[in-house]
Amino acid sequence: MIIVTGGAGFIGSNLIKGLNNRGVDDVLVVDNLEKADKYRNLEHCSIEDFIDKNDFLGLLQTRRALQNVEVVFHQGACSNTMETNGRYMMSNNYTYSRELFEFCDERGIPFIYASSASVYGANQTFTETARNENALNIYAYSKLLFDQHIRRRMVTMHSQVVGLRYFNVYGPGEWHKGGMASVAYHFQQQYKKDGYVNLFQGSNGYADGEQKRDFVWVGDVVDVNLFFLQRPEASGVFNVGTGRSESFNNVAAAVINSTSGKKCSTKELIEAGAIRYIQFPEKLLGKYQSFTQADISALYSLGYTTEFKSVAEGVDLYVASELTT
């Protein structure tokens, strides 16, 4: 049996589909369906069973009824970077992760979990070392603290443990994430509604819409997770991004062109009023990553060879799959 926590969420449901595509369906999904519509992400997944997160925690604590577990993909977390309830964030992202890790370590079960590129904060270097880490909010700190815990335990662990620092992931299944959905999702929704896309004006030395991030297609994220499933000897914390930064202007142009079926340059879209700029929000000052670019040399050193999709390629797949429905 394979356990996927956060299985009704964005990356979790795509991971289950990736397993299904490889002929695997003995999957136990763990999630909280208080937001009931998230069930839609599981509709076309083949799974063995579903259990509520709170009931699952009870099983972990009593060590009952969880037998023959082959691997745990821990994707469940509070991903709201604007959340200010530190007690909730630490309980959900740190304490829960520790309990699940302890369960896996006791039984020698591989444990592959979602970390986050947010741990790098405003740094300009994105290599998996402590000197580059500087959490700007409680979400990032909850992820960083668990990574640090894993590093301390690395020499005594009884099983594979892999932390995957996701950069800006986009793709089908994120519709329920509200303000935390990807910019690709929000740009396409706004373009369909208003006929234009709003981007932030220049900030931190970047021109209008030229802030840059490493945007990674969710299918590539799934492939990396399943790569580690086939590498039980590999443990550690690894970046998951394309290794290339692309501007928000590029993302907006890709979304507009894919949605409209045209092939316009960013300059042409600005002149036509399809790309517009709004003032940078005060609430994000000091909390915003204007630049990210994953150093993926550690991942490649393990033999990962699949090329990551560009924004243009990923957005075309996104629009074709779900954004137009």
Least Cα distance to 196 among 278, 263, 280 occurs for 278
What gap in Å lies between CA 142 and CA 150, rounded to an integer?
A: 13
Residues 6+ apart with CB under 8 A from 272: 264
Name the amino acid, one letter, at 66: L
Look up 139 and say whether it is catalytic.
yes
Of all helices (H) and strands (E), which one includes residue 198? strand 197-200
**Contact assessment for residue 76 and residue 10, using Cβ atoms and an 8 Å cutoff:** no
The pair phi, psi for residue 251, each rounded to 5°, is -65, -45
Select which of 53, 88, 177, 196 is catalytic: 177
Query: Considering only CA atoms, which of 59, 70, 67 is closest in space to residue 100?
Result: 59
Positive or negative: CA dihedral 102, 57, 13, 4: positive
DSSP 206: B
CB 115 within 8 A of CB 238: no
Owner of token pair 């006791």? 106
For residues 6 and 28, is the Cβ–Cβ distance under 8 A? Answer: no
Within 10 A of 323 (CB to CB), how many other CB atoms are there? 22
Q: Would you call 177 a catalytic residue per the annotation?
A: yes
Of the residues 94, 113, 120, 139, only one is catalytic, namely 139
Of 230, 224, 272, which is closest to residue 252 (Cα–Cα)?
272
User: Which residues contact residue 314 at a Cβ distance below 8 angstroms, ignoring those fewer than 6 apart?
Assistant: 170, 171, 184, 215, 216, 217, 219, 220
Return d(Cα 104, Cα 101) in angstroms, integer: 5
List active site positions: 139, 177
